[in-house]
Amino acid sequence: MKTTQPPRTVHRPATGRSPALDLRSLQKTHGKGRQAVTALHGIDHAIPSGSFTAVMGPSGSGKSTLLHCAAGLERPTSGSVTLAGQELSGLSERQLTLLRRDRIGFVFQDFHLVPALSVAANVALPLRLAGRRPDPHRLEELLSNVGLLDKRNRRPAELSGGQQQRAALARALVTHPEVVFADEPTGALDRASGRDVLKLLRDAVDDLGTTVVMVTHDPQAAAWADEVLVLADGRLVDRLTGPDVSAETIAARMAALGV
């Protein structure tokens, strides 16, 4: 999927903001002994609150592993992850589950909507699982913002791919998360639908102060971000900010890595 690059004016400087996500000497090794494979080699990086970060790199570079460790889905072998002031390594599995439910939003390439539930019920699901009653005004506002208010009673199978992804994004935002992790959110969408989703992610940063961390393979999708982190062989090898966050510059850097 190729998405149209946004105007440069949509980006806001992220300097001076406290970190929403702080990675220190982050290492992740799968397996043991001779079979051990290191997916991340000592990643150090702080992501400011209220910023949009894209993570790119060749296949096998550690992008998904980085996202999983940062979101508390996997435990790093060594190093630390601090999310919104909470260091994750000392948390139990239950505490990690509660943190992911209450303070993190997720958007995946394959939507992960519940087929039997309506759009409105899917969006409200994280609140229901937490034993919280959804605010009908908040739910209506979210559905309106993603252009699905008139489809609130539809099932996912009755929606297009782009509409399903917009419903998934509304679900990710319903708990007012401090960080939204998006894993290839436009990978299964056409150009127009992908642009709609990227604009909504950008608006969540600019209008709501949400922090977004997005893994993508598409330079034009990455150009919506404030910064682009480039991984290769499990190492952070490049960081693009400001004027360098353009589809042309990103594509050139990726081409230099053989992507």
> Any residues with CB less than 8 A from the CB of 186 and at least 6 apart, and which?
1, 3, 165, 193, 194, 197, 198, 216, 218, 221
CA-wise closest residue to 226 among 56, 52, 57 = 52
Structural domains of the chain ordered from first start: 51-60+92-256 (3.40.50.300)
User: How far does CA 90 lie from the centroid of its chain?
Assistant: 23
Give, for all 259 residues of the chain, the pLDDT tens digit: 455 556 544 444 444 567 999 999 999 999 888 889 999 999 999 999 999 999 999 989 999 999 999 999 999 999 999 998 899 988 999 999 999 999 999 999 999 999 999 999 999 999 998 899 999 999 999 999 999 999 999 999 999 999 999 999 999 999 999 999 999 999 989 999 999 999 999 999 999 999 999 999 999 999 999 999 999 999 999 999 998 899 999 999 999 887 6
pLDDT of residue 85: 87
Classify strands 52-56 and 227-232 as parallel, antiparallel or unpaired: parallel
By CB atoms closer than 10 A (0-12, 13-18, 19+), residue 177 is buried
* Residues 36-43: contacts with CB under 8 Å, at least 24 apart: 38/234, 39/65, 39/234, 40/65, 40/66, 40/69, 40/76, 40/234, 41/233, 41/234, 41/235, 42/79, 42/235, 43/79, 43/235, 43/236
pLDDT of residue 34: 84
pTM (2 d.p.): 0.91
CA-wise closest residue to 70 among 39, 32, 104 = 104
- Angle (CA) 76 80 81, round 5°: 90
What amino acid is encoded at 1 in this protein? M
How many Å apart are CA 208 and CA 52, to the nearest integer?
A: 12
pLDDT of residue 17: 63
Classify strands 211-215 and 52-56 as parallel, antiparallel or unpaired: parallel
pLDDT of residue 8: 46
Which two tokens mark 152?
């609130």
